[in-house]
Structure 1
Amino acid sequence: MVFAHDTEQSLLAAVTLANSAEPPDTLTSVAELDAFYERFEFTGRRDRTRAELDEVRALRPVLRELLTGDRDDAAALVNTLLAGARALPQLVRHDRFDWHLHAVVADAPLATRIAVEAAMAMIDVIRADELSRLDVCADDDCEAVVLDLSRNRSRRFCSTACGNRNAVAAYRARQAAGS
């Protein structure tokens, strides 16, 4: 484990949400937002409305900027997000998770909680100078964000599909060069 469990979970959620805007858009319905909420084990208020979905969707470019910016820009955006939400970090324990940080109240809007949790996770990334664990997919036709939590820092592609597509292209190029 590179980071604490809540940091990893928040980073994975932020990357997934930012990447949901990549074609094809994978966050278009309240049901898809419900699945996202459950997958990343968010707690607290859920309105289950189109307005809530739209607020979360509007967060995607902000998260992309947060996850792909340089260290100084990321730090400035973290401060902006936390100040805008009037974040007050607190240790909490719930469900299957031991002590971890929440920085806004449980009845804050979902988009606010997602933004603040991503910002809190990025605090750990920035302080540890680990922004190299975040990058854009190495596939020339993909703009998705990659979170590399591997020990040897070897992850280059956002998905198996992008990795496989590049491996096949490299194989074919080697075969063509050998002919």
Structure 2
Amino acid sequence: MSLLNDPCATPAELADRCEEAGLDLAAAPTSSDLEAVGAFMAQWRRVVACSEHEPRAATLNALMLEYASAPWLTDHAGTGWHLHFREPDVDVPRQIAALISVGTALHLSGLGMDRLGICAAGECSKAYADISRNGRQRYCSTTCANREAVRRHRATRASATV
């Protein structure tokens, strides 16, 4: 979510974020890679913002068709066997796009098609992945949820005094 909610300003920042997330990039990101990742994130935001299951699935399927490949086992880094959903030696933007697309599909198919969205707080447009126990997350953070609760409480009190 951080690449969508807080886009990277430089290729070095993109490299740092990927390293922090445990993603071993095929190469050091370039300015054109950063631009391509930004373009992909704009496409992926359509998946996040879509609240209807069928269009969400169709949009995500199109992204996986474009960026992902058949899964294959690898131990390329010597850190243990794992699945890749991309061809070996793809460029940085394609590597990131494949990971996000397939990861999103696994998240939605495993937890439910409603487990992704845009914050319901009026002034916020950040995305969130709902990993809550009950599947009812509607805000990107506790801060936004609390702010909206205070706003609703004040509105209720104001209408009661009129």
Change (3 A) 1:139 1:122: same
For residues 138 and 86 of structure 1, the distance between their equivalents in structure 2, rounded to whole angstroms, comes to 31
Paired position in structure 2 for 1:67: 48
Change (3 A) 1:143 1:55: same
For residues 83 and 47 of structure 2, the distance between their equivalents in structure 1, rounded to whole angstroms, comes to 19
Give 1:49's match in structure 2, choosing from 11, 30, 54.
30
Q: CA deviation at 1:126?
A: 4.8
Counterpart amino acid of residue 34 in structure 1: A
Change (3 A) 1:156 1:79: closer
Paired position in structure 1 for 2:106: 124
Moved more, 110-119 or 167-176: 167-176
Change (3 A) 1:98 1:72: farther
User: 1:77-112 CA distances to partner (integer Å, 9 max, x unpaired)?
Assistant: 343333333612113357797654211135212211
Is 1:87 equivalent to 2:69 in the alignment?
yes
CA RMSD, Structure 1 to Structure 2 (Å): 2.8
Q: Which has the higher contact order (CA 8 A, sep 6+)?
A: 1
Is 1:39 equivalent to 2:39 in the alignment?
no
Query: What SS is found at the alignment partner of 1:117?
Result: helix
> If the length of structure 1 is used for normalisation, what is the TM-score?
0.72
Is 1:17 equivalent to 2:14 in the alignment?
no
Alignment of 1:125-140 (within 5 A): 125-128=107-110, 130-140=112-122
Moved more, 73-82 or 106-115: 73-82
Alignment: residue pair count:
160
Greater C-alpha radius of gyration: 2
Change (3 A) 1:130 1:86: closer
Moved more, 114-123 or 168-177: 168-177
Give 2:125's match in structure 1, choosing from 125, 143, 149.
143
Paired position in structure 1 for 2:87: 105
Change (3 A) 1:91 1:68: farther
For residues 152 and 130 of structure 2, the distance between their equivalents in structure 1, rounded to whole angstroms, comes to 22
| Percentage of matched positions with identical amino acids | 29
For residues 78 and 146 of structure 2, the distance between their equivalents in structure 1, rounded to whole angstroms, comes to 35
